[in-house]
Amino acid sequence: RKEVEQDPGPFNVPEGATVAFNCTYSNSASQSFFWYRQDCRKEPKLLMSVYSSGNEDGRFTAQLNRASQYISLLIRDSKLSDSATYLCVVTPMNSGYSTLTFGKGTMLLVSP
């Protein structure tokens, strides 16, 4: 099983729709979780961290399910500008320092 797995998509949704992505991770000891966003031919940028209790930032909500080892990203009221690839990122170690492990990303296309 790969360390971090995502559905590559693309997810095609109309403006205003609600869309959700899941990401599964293999290392049950993983402690830190993030969603990064990458626009076409640009660098990845941190979208939000994912906390155990879940967190919300405007139209974006991130959830963590440790029992099933997945994290999710929910986008409400999709905008054209939300079109991008969303990368799931996990720190696999449970102590000390560990480099980030990136998923391959899920592509979202929002159409008018």
Partner 1 sequence: NAGVTQTPKFRVLKTGQSMTLLCAQDMNHEYMYWYRQDPGMGLRLIHYSVGEGTTAKGEVPDGYNVSRLKKQNFLLGLESAAPSQTSVYFCASSYPEESGRFVWETQYFGPGTRLLVL
In this chain, which of 23, 87, 108, 110 binds partner 1, going by CB under 8 A?
Answer: 87
Q: Does 104 bind partner 1 (CB under 8 A)?
A: yes
The DSSP-derived string for 11-79 is EEEETT--EEEEEEES-TT--EEEEEEE-TTS-EEEEEEE-TT-EEETTEEEEEETTTTEEEEEE-S--
Burial class (CB in 10 A: 0-12, 13-18, 19+), 104: middle
Q: Does 32 bind partner 1 (CB under 8 A)?
A: yes
**In the stretch 43-82, what mask flags binding to partner 1 with x, by CB under 8 A?**
xxxx--x---------------------------------
Supply the minimum distance, in Å, between the C-beta of residue 111 and partner 1: 23
Enumerate binding residues for partner 1 (CB under 8 A). Answer: 31-32, 34, 41-46, 49, 87, 91, 94-100, 102-105
